[in-house]
Amino acid sequence: MKRFFTYLRSAVAQLDQDYSACRRAAKIDGAERVIVDSSALHCPVCFCIFTSAPFILNCGHSFCQNCVKKLVENSYSEHSAIFECPMCRQVTSSEAHFTKNYLADALLHSICEITQNEKESSVDSNLRISFQLISRKFLEEQEKNSILREKYKEERVRSRRYLIFLIMESALLVGSAFLYKLLYRKAWDIIRDCGFPVVPSEHWLFGNLNIMKSYSTHWQLCKLTRKYGRTYGLMQGSHPIIVTSDPKIIYQICIKQFHLFHSRTMDPNGPHPDISYEVHEFAARGERWKRIRSLTSKAISNENLRKLFYIMHDSVNHFIMDLENEITYSKVLDLHPRFQKLTFDIISRCCMGRPYSCQHDDANLKLLLKKFSPLQSFHLSFLFTWCLPDLKWILLIYAKLCLCFRAAFHLDIDPLVTYTNYLRKVISMNIINQDRSSFLYFMKCVEDKKWDKWEVDADRPCHLSSMQIIQKLTPGEIINQCRFLTSAGFDTTANTVVYLIYLLAKNRKKQEKLYQEIAMLDEITFDSIQHLNYLHCAIMEALRLFPHASLLQSRACVQQCKIGPYTFKKDVGVIFDTWSLHYDEEIWGSDVREFKPDRFLNCTTIQKRNWMAFGTGPRQCIGMRFAMLEIKIIICSLLKKFSFHEIENMNEVDFTNELPYALLGKIKFSAPYNIRLKE
C-alpha cells in the first residue's frame, strides 16, 4: 500500500511539464462549472491566499514562493541542497526545477473575474479588487471633473460674448429709439402747426395706431370729432394723419384739388404703387391708377351690366330655391353667411366668367373669410411697418422666408396668398370664356406680357383729366385686379343687404311701401328694376346709417397746399370720418338717426354731395353701380317671396352708445339679426 502511494506521488510529480499543466488549466477555464476546495487556494505554511501562481513540489503539495524559499534557507539537513515537505516530510532537492501550479493560478483568476462582475456584494474580502474599483471610480470622477472644467470655460467665454452682444444691442435699441424719436418728432411737426388740433399720442412708439387699426375705429373717430372738432390730426405710428368730416374740405380734396390728392394713403405693408409689378386699382395712383381704372370701367358699363344681369338673377334664383327648402315658420336660419355665399357666387361668376352657380362649400370663399375674419389679429410686423417704414424691406424678406418655409413643410400659409395663386393658375391658362361680358375678358383683351413701361413716378401733382392712357395691362395687374374685385365686392354687399333687411324688419310701414312698389313688377328685368325709386332710396338710406366700408376712403397729399384755414403738407395722409358726416344734423336734419328713405326722394345738392358710402370724386368705388344692381335684385326677389319680421323679445340697440358693427355678431339676424322670414 505504501508503495502504491509512493507511486501515485511520483506520478503526480511527473505533471511538472509546463505544457501539460497549461493544457489542464485551459480545460478548467472552458468548463461550465468547477467545484473547488477553499483549502487548495491558500498556502498550508503561511495560510495566505495565493496572489500568484504557487510552486508545486514533487510530492504534489503547493506552496507560495516565499514559503518555498524559506524552506530551502531553513533546512536542518546536513546537506543544504535538500529539504523536507512540511506536509508529507518527503525529501526534495532544492536544486530541482520547481514547477508552477497553473491549475491553481487559473482558478484564482476565474474567482477574481467573478468577484469583479458581481453587482451586489456584501463585504469584499479581496482588498486588491476593492482598490481597483476605487481607482476606476476616481478616474471616472476625474474625467467628469475635467469635462465640467471645459464646459465652465466655454460658458465663461460665451457669457462674455453675450454680455458684449447685450451691450451692443442695448446701444442699438437706445440709438434706434433716439433716432425714431427724432423722426417721430419730425413727423409730428408736419401736423403740429397746420391750424387744427392734434390728438395726443397714446404710445411713444405706436402713437394712435391702436385707434386706427381697431374694429371700432369709426366709433372712436366719432368721439374724437365731438371732442376736437371736424378736422384734427393724429399719429398712425410714424405717419401723420389728418381726420376730417368737414364737407367743404372733403369737396376740395376729392374734386376741386384732386390733382394734389390723387393717391390714397400708402400702406407700408403693401406693394409700391409705382414700381411694383403687381398692383390693383385701389393701391395705384397717378397715371397708373387712371389706366387700370379706365380699362376696368368698360366691364362695369351700363351696356355690360345689362348682360351680367342674367347671371346675377340666376344666382339669386338658386339662392331663393335653397331658402324655400330650408325655411319654416318655426325654424330660424343664419342668413348672413348665406348672403356672403350668394354675393361671392355672383361676383365670381361675373369676374371670372364661370357659367354655373356654386353657393355650397366654395373653397375660395373660405379662404377670404379666414383672411378677413374679425378674429384675425394684426401681426407684429404689420404694426412695426407703420412705425418704422424704412425697415419695410427687412420685414418683406422675413415674410418671404416664412412663406417659403411654410410651403416647404406644408404648413398653413396666408389664405390671401393661396387665393392669389389660384387666380394666377386660372388666368395663366389663357382661356377666354365664350361669355364676353366677364370682367376677365375685358382685361385679357388688353393684356401685354412683355410691356413694362408703366414705371412713372406719381409722387407729384397729376392732372389726370387731360392725360392720355395706354390701352395695356400687365398680367400682374390683371391678377391683382381680379383678386381686389372679388374680395372687396362680396362682403360689403352682403353686409348692406343684412343692414337693409334689419331696418325694414324694424320699420314695417316702410317695408310695406317697398313691397307695394316691387309687387307692381310682373317680371324682374334690368329695365324694370331701374324704375324702383323707393328701393333705390331705401338702399341709400341704409348705407347712410351704416357706411361700413367708409374706413377705406383716404387720400395722400403729394404737394403742400392750403384748404381754408388749414395747411396740408406733403406726404400727410387724410382720412374721411364718414360716420360723423352721415350723422350731421346740419346736413340731414334732426331726424338723422331715423330710417327715412323718403329723404332721398327730394334730397338737396348738399346731401347728394355728402353721401359718401361709396366715396366721392374720381376715386369713387368702381363697383358702385354693380353693387346697387346686385342689391336691388336680391331685395326684389326676397320681398316677392317673403316678408321680414322681428323676433320677439328683441334687444333694442342704441346707436349712440353701441357700435353698429356689433350687429354682425351681437344681434341676431334670423339667428344673427333677430329677424325671421315669412312666406
* Residues contacting residue 36 through CB under 8 Å, at least 6 positions apart: 107
Q: Which amino acid is it at 340?
A: Q
Provide the Cα torsion 290, 296, 301, 304; round to 10°.
170
Nearest to 562 by CA among 193, 188, 189, 184: 193
Phi (first) and psi of residue 436, to 5 degrees: -85, 15
* Residues contacting residue 250 through CB under 8 Å, at least 6 positions apart: 244, 576, 581, 610, 612, 616
SS3 state of residue 515? helix
Q: What share of the chain is helix, strand, coil (3-state, %, to 5)?
A: 55, 10, 35
Query: How far is it, in rounded angstroms, from Cα 572 to Cα 552?
Result: 16
Nearest to 544 by CA among 504, 578, 509, 506: 578
Contact, 292 vs 284, CB < 8 A?
Answer: yes
Nearest to 547 by CA among 592, 583, 575: 583
Query: How far is it, in rounded angstroms, from Cα 276 to Cα 265?
Result: 16
Q: Which amino acid is it at 283?
A: A
Burial annotation 632-641 (CB, 10 A radius, 16+ → b, else e) = bbbbbbbbee
Burial annotation 447-463 (CB, 10 A radius, 16+ → b, else e) = beeeeeebeeebbeebe
Rg (CA), the chain: 48
In this structure, what C-alpha cell is assigned to residue 189? 411737426
Beta bridge partners, 82, equal 93
Q: Which amino acid is it at 654?
A: D
Residue with C-alpha cell 331701374? 530
Helix 475-506 / helix 533-545 crossing angle, nearest 10 deg: 100
Phi (first) and psi of residue 233, to 5 degrees: -120, 160
Burial of 38 (0-12, 13-18, 19+ CB in 10 A): exposed
Contact, 521 vs 636, CB < 8 A?
Answer: yes
Query: How far is it, in rounded angstroms, from Cα 325 to Cα 359?
Result: 15
If you ran DSSP here, which 8-state letter would residue 50 be given? P
Query: How far is it, in rounded angstroms, from Cα 626 to Cα 326?
Result: 29
Q: Which amino acid is it at 251?
A: Y
Beta bridge partners, 562, equal 567
Find out whether 482 is annotated in a ligand binding site.
no
Burial of 307 (0-12, 13-18, 19+ CB in 10 A): middle
If you ran DSSP here, which 8-state letter would residue 201 be given? P
* Residues contacting residue 164 through CB under 8 Å, at least 6 positions apart: none
Contact, 641 vs 679, CB < 8 A?
Answer: yes
In this structure, what C-alpha cell is assigned to residue 533? 325709386
Beta pairing, strands 643-646 & 675-678: antiparallel
SS3 state of residue 153? helix
Q: Which residues are part of a known binding site for heme? A: 621
Q: Which residues are part of a known binding site? A: 621
